Amino acid sequence: MKSLSIKALQREYEKNYYMYIPLTIILNSCIGSIAVMTILTQGTSLISGIELTLCVSLCMGYNAVLLAGSNRKFAFWLLAVSLLANMLLILITLL
């Protein structure tokens, strides 16, 4: 049985980098769009604008890092931060 540590996930991501590019773009875009939808259901305010800016910036930042051909380790950590932040935004807006 494989371990689910951050280092093991990072090694797997770096090993199969080109396989994970389309998968993570789709995953990150879907989670980001769900976060945007839940934020916009609350209406428009300054707080929701800040949340939207954070969500869109993280999703676009990950896509930009992939297109720029940046470091694989940086791309992995940006993906992790983006997914975590978007899931937290979903949970915060649903509560």
pLDDT digits (tens, 9 = 90+) for 53-66: 999 999 999 999 99
Q: How far is CA 19 from the centre of its chain?
A: 17
Supply 22's token pair.
Answer: 């389309």
- Evaluate whether 83 touches 24 at the Cβ level (below 8 Å): no
In a domain, 62, yes or no: yes
**CA–CA separation, 93 vs 22, rounded Å?**
28
Structure tokens at 66: 């992939």
Number of structural domains found in the chain: 1
pTM of structure: 0.86
The residue range of the domain holding 21 is: 17-94
Tell me the per-residue pLDDT of 12-69, one tens digit each, with 9 for 90 and over. Answer: 888 999 999 999 999 999 999 999 999 999 888 898 899 999 999 999 999 999 999 8
Does some domain include residue 10?
Answer: no
Q: What are phi and psi of 42, to 5 degrees?
A: -80, -10
